[in-house]
Structure 1
Amino acid sequence: MKTKAYRNWLAKGSFYNICGRQIFVIDTNAHNSKKGNGNHSSDGNKPVLCILHGFPTSSFDYWKVIDALSEQFRVIIHDHLGFGFSDKPIDYSYSLIDQTDIALCLWKQLNIESAIILAHDYGTSIATELLARDNVGLCPIKIQQLVLCNGSIHIELAKLRFMQKLLRNRFIGKLVAKISNKSILGKNLRNIYFDQSKISQDEIDTIWAMMTHNNGKEVLARVSRYTFERHTLWYRWIGALKQTPIPIKIVWPENDPIAIAEMARVIEKETKNSKLYWLQDAGHFPMLEVPDSWLSEVISAISNPI
């Protein structure tokens, strides 16, 4: 079912051909907005904020905060390959390395030379791959600062949900994806909120519609295997965090049941130039559950030097 929110979000963005794939992008800069949308003033003089969304959702995670963010930033957010409105090729590995390449190719098309990166969940591994490249002079954009939210970068500390473990299983993952439905999604999303009443049925309907759009169920098992890369590339990505001189702002809910609070403390302790900002009474998707508090902490984190 295509909800009103689904249609409105689709209307906000455009599709870009990136590496031969159609990638859905929202860019609040009027020059890159969808043709016919004249409601935005030019964001050319604003700092660029590139957002990397999480799993298994899409850029829609930011529907409650994008307008407020766009008052201060030129916001660029895309659906990763295999997510949301972007292409979902069936015979594809969905490596986080490839997702990083796609993000960089997109930003190059948009002529982004310097940006603040904000990453949540799945997106934090793309962010650490960017750091790994930057540390050896191979990142083509200047990362002004990095904001990390709820990402199980320290995968050994993560409390993965049972459904996620089933989906990534090589033998039964495809079957689990095939029999999954909106009710199962709703139950799993509610279970990772601090206050389950904060997610509406309309939001669940919209998230499900975006997940299942264009082969979504067929690729879900493959996309879910990204957590294995977090083990395989642990030394590369944790090493990049430890080595980078880039300021790192950590915005984290104390009650996240997946990327637990201890993870945020470890990241702050092992990074050279970081500061931790706690969120109260929020679970794994704070930008949806407590948008005002999340927005306040993110803007404060970006605005204040360490």
Structure 2
Amino acid sequence: MDAELARWKAAGQSFDYLGFDVFYRHEGQGPALLLVHGYPFNSFDWSAIWPTLTERFTVIAPDMMGMGFSAKPVAYRYSVYDHADMHEALLSHLGVRSAHVLAHDLGDSVAQEFLARNEFGEQSYGAWNIESITWLNGGLFNEAYTPRAMQKLMSATPLGDLMSPLQGSVLSRRLLEPTINEMFGPNTKPSRQLMDTFHQILEWGDGKRVLHKVGRFLDDRYTHRNRWVRAMRKTSVSLRLIDGPVDPNSGAHMARRYAEVVPDADVVMLADDIGHWPQIEAPEAVLTHFLAHIDRVTGQR
């Protein structure tokens, strides 16, 4: 295992979520900050901004079920609703009743579910207060989301089940890497070392066998789209979108749609060459704009 990834894993711990082990990092001091990672990797996505965040916040960063160092059962129905339940169970386990949220990709959908539960009184593990939400690139609105062809084939067709026994093979790596590369900006492509680390994350615990099952969260975005949008339009929680514009999935086109749908939308566009993983591609810029959002929220009190 890559040395940095091994250190990340060694610094974590786990809690029991309905009979399954969920990995999480919990570090720092100050107000609680919940980090909600995206698909298909894990909390290690936050490693570049972790030291700065833990200087100011008590940071909580789990790996979702089916990803990273958390349990990856095959006979399991992965869903945005269940991911939200897991995060709420972890907050309850830690005694946290108020937190800021920073989310990315699939994590955006999970945070939308948090917001809807907050607005409509539907929390699963007791009420907790959302102090703010900052979204990074993600499929906030289906009508503007353009997933890659491989993602659609693996999660929305029988191909995922057919390919499952081959996951972890050389063929699997060759099929996946072009899709990952495509989602990074032209000047921020992952190095060979980082790409190998991505594969280690995906393959830990035979994880690629359930990758396509986890990817079926796309269906949840259709099921819950209007409920989530009602919450976003109704809420008094402060929301900010920080967007990498050249992301083919959810770049500038998603930011434009966000500005159309969300009242008084707060949108920050990053440099023109930043893609889908801004916390990896432009960590300093993400920190600047995220902390400015937090300062604005806390300064209003």
TM-score (norm 1): 0.90
C-alpha deviation, 1:249, in angstroms = 1.0
Between the aligned partners of 1:114 and 1:273, the Cα distance in structure 2 is: 24
Spell out the pairing of 1:56-205 with structure 2 (5 A cutoff).
Answer: 56-139=40-123, 140-180=127-167, 181-195=172-186, 197-205=188-196
Report deviation, 1:273.
5.5
Match among 250, 254, 258 for residue 241 of structure 2: 250
Distance 1:271 1:64, change over 3 A: same
* 1:78-130 CA distance string (max 9 Å, x none): 00000000000101110111111110000011111110011110011111111
Counterpart residue number, 1:16: 15
1:210 and 2:201 aligned: yes
Whole-angstrom distance in 1 between the partners of 2:56 and 2:49: 12
Distance 2:144 2:163 in 1: 25
8 A Cα contact 2:144 2:257, kept in partner: no
User: Which residue is equivalent to 1:298?
Assistant: 290
> What amino acid is the match of 2:34?
C
Offset, 1:196: 5.1
Residues 133 and 238, structure 2, Cα contact 8 Å, conserved in 1: yes
Alignment of 1:215-254 (within 5 A): 215-254=206-245
For 1:36, the equivalent position in structure 2 comes to none
Q: Structure 2 counterpart of 1:25, which letter?
A: Y
Structure 2 CA distance for aligned equivalents of residues 172 and 188 of structure 1: 16
- Deviation of the 1:169 alpha carbon: 2.7
Structure 2: distance between partners of 1:268 and 1:105: 32
> 1:181-212 CA deviation, whole Å, 9 max, x = no partner?
33333322211111355411111111111111
Q: Offset at 1:291? A: 1.3
TM-score (norm 2): 0.91
Other-structure match for 1:32: none
Cα pair 1:250 1:264 within 8 Å, conserved:
yes
More deviation, 296-305/110-119: 296-305
Q: CA RMSD in A?
A: 1.7
> Residue by residue, what CA displacement relative to the aligned partner does 1:208-254 show, whole Å, maximum 9, x if unpaired?
11111113121111111110111121111122211211110111112
Q: What is the DSSP-based 3-state SS (H/G/I as helix, E as strand, rest coil) of the residue aligned with 1:92?
A: coil
Is the partner of 1:16 in helix, strand or coil? strand
More helix by share: 2
8 Å contact from structure 1 (residues 190, 196) kept in 2: no
Counterpart CA distance in 1 for 2:58 and 2:175 is 36
Q: SS state of the match for residue 167, structure 1?
A: helix
Note if contact 1:244-1:272 (Cα within 8 Å) is conserved in structure 2: no
Are 2:252 and 1:261 aligned? yes
C-alpha deviation, 1:170, in angstroms: 3.5
2: CA distance, partners of 1:117 / 1:296: 16
2: distance between equivalents of 1:26 and 1:131?
A: 23
CA contact (8 A) 1:53 1:119 kept: yes
Is this contact kept in 2: 1:88–1:214, CA < 8 A? yes
Amino acid at match of 1:77: A
Q: Deviation per CA, 1:235-281, whole angstroms, max 9, x where unpaired?
A: 11122211211110111112221113122232234324541111112
Partner of 1:34: none
Secondary structure in structure 1 of the residue aligned to 2:156: coil
How many pairs align? 290
SS of residue in 2 equivalent to 1:230: helix
Instruction: Tell me the equivalent position of 1:285.
Output: 277
Q: Identity over aligned residues, as a percent?
A: 31
- Distance in 1 (CA, whole Å) between partners of 2:175 and 2:50 is 28
Show structure 1 runs of 5+ residues with no match: 30-42
